[in-house]
Amino acid sequence: MNILLKSFSTAYNTAPFSEIKNEDFLPAITTLIEDTKAEINAITSNTEPPTFENTIEALEFSGEQLDRVTSIFFNLNSAETNDDIQKIAQEVSPLLSEFGNDITLNEALFKRVKSVYDNRTHLNLDAEQTMLLEKKYKSFSRNGANLAEDKKETLRALDKDLSKLKLSFGENVLAETNAFEMHITNEDDLSGLPEGAKEAAKQLAESKDKDGWLITLDYPSYIPFMTYADNRELRKKLAIAAGKKGFHNNEYDNQDHVLNIAKKRFQRANLLGYKTHAHFVLEERMAKTPENVSEFLNELLEKAKPAAHDEFKNLEEFAKSIDNIDHLEKWDGAYYAEKLKQKLFNLDDEKLKPYFQLEKVTAGAFLVAEKLFGLHFEEINTIDKYHDDVLTYKVTDTDGELVSIFYADFFPRAGKRNGAWMTSFKSQAIKNGKNERPHISIVCNFTKPTKSKPSLLTFNEVTTLFHEFGHALHGMLANTTYPSLSGTSVYWDFVELPSQVMENWCFEKEALELFAKHYKTGEVIPMELVSKIKESSTFHEGMQTLRQISFGLLDMSWHGIDPSQIQDVKAHELVAFQNTKLYPDVKENCMSTAFSHIFQGGYSSGYYSYKWAEVLDADAFEYFKEAGIFNTEVATKFKDHVLSQGGTVDPMTLYKRFRGKEPQPEALLKRAGLIK
């Protein structure tokens, strides 16, 4: 029998990766869709009057095995994919999209949900039940339940097309990333590159039976080269290759995908009675409207732009003074910024990396979580992994009770998309009196160990690890009844609060002393370096803020308007970047064609949320600092009111319960050095 159709008889009910074959997925998902349809039919054919229990709860807990199997499948498609999995994804995605529509467009089901919703004031529901009822009702009303039959069919077709387009978009970006290699045979071309990066490039070349060194578009290879390589022409070649992903007029070109996704999202929003896709999305966000998002981004832009222009002018003058560079190009930014940073602070990542051995940083993140939230992480080897690189942990509380299973997948490989993310293989929920604990995973792309060195992280990678670990804590500490309200199932502009607030511990002496120890000598990071890390933390903050704002504005330019007249992706993008532009445009490059966050992931109309959450996280961390960064009283309030509550309560209400007041943007602007 297909392993995916049975309850998993594994330790902690974990995914049995070693027993799953690729060919199991399609038949299992097809069967489980039919099983879930039968569960839905049982709800709609119930002759009893609709109640919260027999309709809303029954619907919430339907399709549990389908949810598990699809989460395993799509997680593998991101972290350990291959041609077979990608082909299956192209078949499975439209099936799931169609099935999702079968539920939201099921009139008999909606009638029952609406009956419970209309009667809600008489049901004596608690806050979580009320939120579940509202979300279930909205999931129908916002997805076409009130449409006429012909319009429902149009919606189905749009959703099917969008699911395929988003998948193809992501596959093209991955294919383009994997297709490019810069093969270097003259060691002089590596001048400026740190020894560790050179060794990694040599090791990569050897693994492909090539002489010399290989540089790729994977971040651990790309970032050091752009930051340190003296050869300007090769930096240019690499930067253009990175910026051309999906913009080649070849089989992996994403220009039509971008236009089609934007236009179909707009059509879908119109069909449902919304002005634009952004109006549809933002109704379920803290920001509420595109106007609020634009106001928020433009207010930040006003504060950041003067600082960004000053920083850029200084960088230009610096580049001219040392290398007689007249015009800074995009491939010069990281290189000269690093040199200027070294000059100003006598601090460079190569000095810091020996203190940030991956294993020690991971242990440090665990120790921070133990001090704050009483969690204990124990590496275990009794559960299956989908790749040998993956590490597995059992997470327990102070009473030794299971909190979560935790997977950590740290290194790049061909079947893994770039970037870093948190996900889950099993949701937390309380069913039949049993608290089902979650299985949480973080996936990153850090520098692999070499023959002579362990994996040593840049400081930016350290903050990335803490960021994803913050998301993981949000998932691990979930303690709600219903899976769809659990963990990170919160408004998108609230989801980044736990992740971004965790980054703050990376800048604090008290926390750094726990894990920043030299990989050879065990010496704790010198305090002068800690001071320099803090001092340099606002280096080029104006330019960084401008960059994030530019991405948010680009997102809104695709989703906050009627895109039906846009014919040229690049021309549209240039207009969107007009107010945030610092570097000259590179004609061969286009960002939208590889902007996976908004065209493949869940950030469409939501990229602004990174800056939005920064306001929350700066304000929240002020509270920790006032009481002491390991103050258990503040940490417990954060756990009880934010991390454990998921989406059971409006996020601003949760924040105020934790903080005692609404967040103030001053904390962020001060931290960024944009106001005194």
Question: Catalytic amino acids?
Answer: 468
What tokens appear for 173 in the block? 């970006």
77: which residues sit within 8 A by CB, 6+ positions away?
85, 86, 89
Measured from the Cβ of residue 127, the count of other Cβ atoms closer than 10 Å reads 12
Question: Reduced to 3 states, what is the DSSP secondary structure of residue 574?
Answer: helix
Contact 52, 481 (CB under 8 A): no
At 26, list the tokens.
């399609």
Diameter of the chain measured on Cα atoms? 82
Measured distance CA(571)–CA(247) in Å, rounded: 13
Cα(398)–Cα(393) distance, integer angstroms: 16
Please tell me the distance from the alpha carbon of residue 425 to that of residue 415, in angstroms, as a whole number: 18
Beta strands at 391-396 and 429-431: parallel, antiparallel or unpaired: unpaired
Q: Which residue has the tokens 């340190």?
A: 228
Measure Cα distances from 660 to 430, 637, 656 in Å.
Answer: 29, 10, 5
| Euclidean distance between CA atoms 161 and 97, whole angstroms | 9
User: Which H or E run contains 404?
Assistant: strand 402-409
Q: Which residues of 177-214 are buried (b: 16+ CB within 10 A; e: fewer)?
A: beebbbebeeeebbebbbebbbbbbbebbeeeeeeebb
Q: Which residue has the tokens 């070294």?
A: 342
Distances (CA, A) of 633 to 505, 572, 658: 17, 50, 11
Instruction: Tell me the C-alpha to C-alpha distance, in Å, between residue 579 and each of 343, 566, 590, 595.
Output: 30, 19, 17, 19
Sheet of 421-426, strands arranged across = 376-379, 391-396, 402-409, 439-443, 421-426
Looking at the DSSP bridge assignments, the partners of residue 440 are 406, 424
Over its C-alpha atoms, the chain yields an Rg (Å, rounded) of 25
Distances (CA, A) of 318 to 119, 239, 324, 334, 496: 68, 21, 9, 13, 35
Q: Is the distance from CB of 295 to CB of 611 less than 8 angstroms? A: no
Of the candidates 603, 592, 602, 605, the residue with the CA atom closest to the CA atom of residue 172: 592
Among candidate residues 422, 425, 374, 371, the one with its CA nearest the CA of residue 395 = 374
- Beta 434-436 vs 439-443: how paired, if at all? unpaired
Q: Answer for the pair 467, 502: CB distance below 8 angstroms, yes or no.
A: yes
| Structure tokens given for 495 | 């989801």
Provide the terminal-to-terminal Cα distance of the chain, rounded to the nearest Å.
66
Q: How far apart are CA 429 and CA 489, in angstroms?
A: 12
Element (H, E) at 391: strand 391-396
* Separation CA 332–CA 642 (nearest Å): 41
Residue with tokens 């010069």: 332
